Amino acid sequence: MRRPRTISRAAPLREPEAQAAPLRPASYSDAGLTELFLDMIAAEQGASANTLDAYRRDLADLSHFLSRRRLSIGSADTAALRSYLADLDNRGFATSSVARRLSALRHLFRFLLSERIRADDPAAILAGPKRGRSLPKVLSIADVDRLLACARQEIDAAEGGARLRAARLNCLLEVLYATGLRVSELVSLPLSAARRDARMIVVRGKGDKERLVPLNAGAKQAMARYLEEMAVAKDPKDGPTPKWLFPSFGESGYLTRQHFARDLKDLAARAGLSPRLVSPHVLRHAFASHLLHNGADLRIVQTLLGHSDISTTQIYTHVVEERLKSLVRDLHPLGEGR
């Protein structure tokens, strides 16, 4: 359900011809303009809480920079915004981070122009940093096998609450590698996703869009074992069955992304892998890369990952290119393999 966009200050009624004139940006604080903008992207674009938090942090940093120059979001010009981007570079921000901040600026000032809060768009002509094509970190199939084997062994070696936590980590890992879910989608799975006869799970992703993702046998077995451990550890005083597959006492009711990431890095160290190279997002990359390496179509991988644009998925084309080269080398009559 869309939330109506409102402007927080009360405005007197105006004649129709006066309504085309821009409102005075000085009437609003930077925080007020930021919240108006966030309300819009939440209502019209279905932005998630994580996306809204990221925009809020980026725009607060911009506001702080402008305030040191006696400027504000309502009064900043193109030169001030260029100075801000240069300041990000001087502070050592990665090119991708500067590009993300610039995207936030463009969205914000385009919104202020459309709402007639500003009469111009100072971010419209800003040029972004040139970005090289960066390839995602990917674990090999052998590395993933080591992680999975270590996670399974730790369930058998643990007792009591530690056994339940080990079963949970194994379940998270198996489901993540089997489905390629975003970590926020994974930790917020409902308990119904672990139905005994489930071959597919419904995932609610970015923009509140739903997609179907298949489960393999390993993921279903890990879910079943985890539910068994939950049943053993359940105390009658705990109350009703939780709504979430990975419940927690936190505000959201389910395990946080940060908690899972920490547990995963600890597991990587115990499995003999570098924790620096292992994260939930790296396992999502491994899911996509290993599928493509084994012949999956790029469009299918796009659907499974929940990418709205194929260009996002095309970062994995290096995997397809390598596979095509190996096919020509091994199968062509004049190839090196003959």
What's at 188, amino acid-wise?
S
pLDDT in tens, 234-249: 877 777 778 999 998 8
Instruction: Answer whether 0.85 is exceeded by the pTM.
Output: no
Question: Which of 12-16, 61-65, 80-84, 267-271 has the weakest average pLDDT?
Answer: 12-16
Segment 239-291, tens digit of pLDDT = 777 899 999 888 889 999 999 999 999 999 999 999 998 999 999 988 988 88
> pLDDT at position 137, please?
65
**Nearest in space to 163 (alpha carbons), one of 172, 153, 173:** 153
- Residue bearing the bigger pLDDT, 287 or 28: 287
Say yes or no to pLDDT of 13 above 50: no
Q: Which tens digit of pLDDT belongs to each residue from 87-122? A: 998 898 888 888 889 989 999 999 999 999 999 999
Query: In this predicted structure, what is the pLDDT of residue 12?
Result: 40
The predicted pLDDT at position 336 comes to: 57
Question: So what's the pLDDT on residue 324?
Answer: 52
Q: How confident is the model at residue 297 (pLDDT cuts 50, 70, 90)?
A: confident
List the structure tokens of 162: 């530690």
Q: Would you state the pLDDT for residue 113?
A: 92
| Burial environment of residue 260 by CB neighbours within 10 A (0 to 12, 13 to 18, 19 or more) | buried
Closest CA to 222 of 286, 269, 179: 179
Instruction: DSSP for 235-252, please give it.
Output: -GGG-SPPSBSSB-SSTT
- The residue that leads in pLDDT, 327 or 218, is 218
Query: Per DSSP, which regions of the chain are E strands?
Result: 200-204, 210-214
Mean pLDDT of the region 215-232: 92
Task: With cut-offs at 50, 70 and 90, classify the pLDDT of residue 318.
Answer: low
Highest mean pLDDT among 251-255, 295-299, 320-324: 251-255
Q: Which range has the worst mean pLDDT, 17-31, 37-51, 76-90?
A: 17-31
Do residues 168 and 319 make contact, with C-beta atoms less than 8 angstroms apart? no
Residue 194's pLDDT band (cuts 50, 70, 90) = confident
**Angstrom distance (rounded) from CA 166 to CA 152:** 8
Catalytic residues: 182, 206, 281, 284, 307, 316
More confident residue, 85 or 27: 85
Q: Which residue has the higher pLDDT, 200 or 145?
A: 145
User: What b/e readout covers 299-310, taking b as 16+ CB neighbours within 10 angstroms?
Assistant: eebbebbbbeee
Structure confidence at residue 19 as a pLDDT band (50, 70, 90): very low
- Cβ pair 47, 41 in contact under 8 A: yes
Q: Which residue has the higher pLDDT, 334 or 81?
A: 81
